Amino acid sequence: MPCTDPSLDTSSPPKRNPSPYSNVTKTGIKVIIVGAGFGGLCAAIECHRQGHNVEIYEKFEELKVLGDIISFGANAGRTFRRWKTCDGERASDRLSPLSIKLQDHGFNIHKWTGELVMNQKTPPANPEAPVFNGHRGEFHSVVFNYVKDELGIPIHLGQRIEEYFETATEAGLSFNDGSFVTADVVIGADGVRSKARELVLGYEDKPKSSGYAVFRAWFPSTDMLADPETRRFCENGDTFNGWIGPDVHFLFSTIKNGTDCCWVLTHRDSHDIEESWSFPGRLEDVYKVFEGWDPLCKRIVSKTPEDKLVDWKLVYRDPLPQWVSDGGRTVLLGDSAHPFLPTSAQGATQALEDGVTIAICLRSAGKDRVQSATRAFQEIRYDRVRDVQKTGETTRDLWHKADWDKVAENPESIAFPREDWIHGHDAEAHAEGLIQAVLTQLTNGKHPESKAPREFKETPIGKATLEPVTSY
């Protein structure tokens, strides 16, 4: 909610109370962030918390509550929990009522022919590291309004960027109306099509067909409740069910105590894609994927209003050798730097970890060493992100290439992986613990974990990744 003074005359513009971080020592570092998605908003919050002067530029004219399911792991929950609000709450307190609660239900995993293989229990809730699964647009509205109304961070909407640029002393953006802005550092958090990618890489990378696509939908449970065969899912509140088959998996949830439903179907697809990869979906195409499957899957999907169905083609992007420009003042963050597979369930969470880390690096290095800060950010984040990205591939292959004879012997082998090294990570503590050593090593021209000097561009390149739909 806005930080306003209730004693003021309501006919006058509301007076904003001070930000919860107004007493933080200012660094004098000006940061421009492009993109008001989760990655950009988190980076802005964290830069504000660390005392930087930050503004956001976003191409969309207005905020709209769009999308469907998104997940934030416990490693993101720690960050949400630290964000103070004007009324003494935490940002996590506002996300919790919108999130799926699965402690009583867990995750029911079925073979594509319908047999229940196992129920994967949901870990007990940890109030200091909560997990959030819910509607992307609703979560985004909470974070967006927190940034705008409580922290008072300027968000400039309807800004069409013509070009990213930088000099030895500043980075900036030019707009299609001829205007421009500059800062000590510019963070491109505007997704896989970010124009910052070309400045950072020195070339334009092109998408490639991956051979996979995703049908997805979010809709009210009205028709589900009217059908005796599907009513049971919604009558039991929040539920999560999956069906797994050769090169296909279908995930279905009921949400908000059974009032809403959402599902995601990942499958093989040979569509040749170039610049656009999201299309209106057709139920008849979904039904073709379900041929030979448990009839219940088709019955669930049949309750979907066709105008709520999206056909999203997953496309490759070549792995990026670096996230920071040669000049060191333009940085890629989140999907702009490292798109994730939905099966990682970590895409948005890793963007949050990026925001935490870059803000700490800038504060620790100071205004006179911005280039060192951005390079330290990449050093701290690159290997971890690469390893987490790979889990999207390994989880997909775990399901799509399952040996069902072995699964019959050990049902736990088909469980969705929840790895402590991912979910137990504290991005803030991690960055604080490494930053000084990394800055020192960079100053000496050495890799922080190696005795041999290396050039900055020699950062290891991981396997090609897939562009995200959303984390599920």
pLDDT tens column, 244-282 = 999 999 999 998 888 999 999 999 886 666 545 678 899
Amino acid code (one letter) for 95: L
Band (pLDDT 50/70/90 cuts) for residue 194 is confident
pLDDT tens column, 94-153 = 999 989 888 888 999 999 999 999 999 988 888 899 999 888 889 999 999 999 999 999
Point out the residues that are catalytic.
216
**Among 39-43, 175-179, 194-198, the range of highest mean pLDDT:** 39-43
pTM, entire model:
0.87
Closest-CA residue to 442 (of 459, 429, 425, 460): 459
pLDDT tens column, 2-38 = 454 433 333 344 456 778 888 899 999 999 999 999 9
Structural domains of the chain, ranges and CATH numbers in brackets? 30-102+126-205+318-444 (3.50.50.60), 208-316 (3.30.9.30)
Return the structure tokens found at 332.
């890629």
Confidence at residue 443, expressed as pLDDT on a 0 to 100 scale: 86
Beta carbons within 10 angstroms of residue 223's beta carbon: 14
Provide the H-helix boundaries in 280-426: 283-289, 295-301, 347-365, 370-400, 404-409, 420-423
Return the structure tokens found at 112.
């594509």
Q: What's the whole-number mean pLDDT along residues 383-403?
A: 86
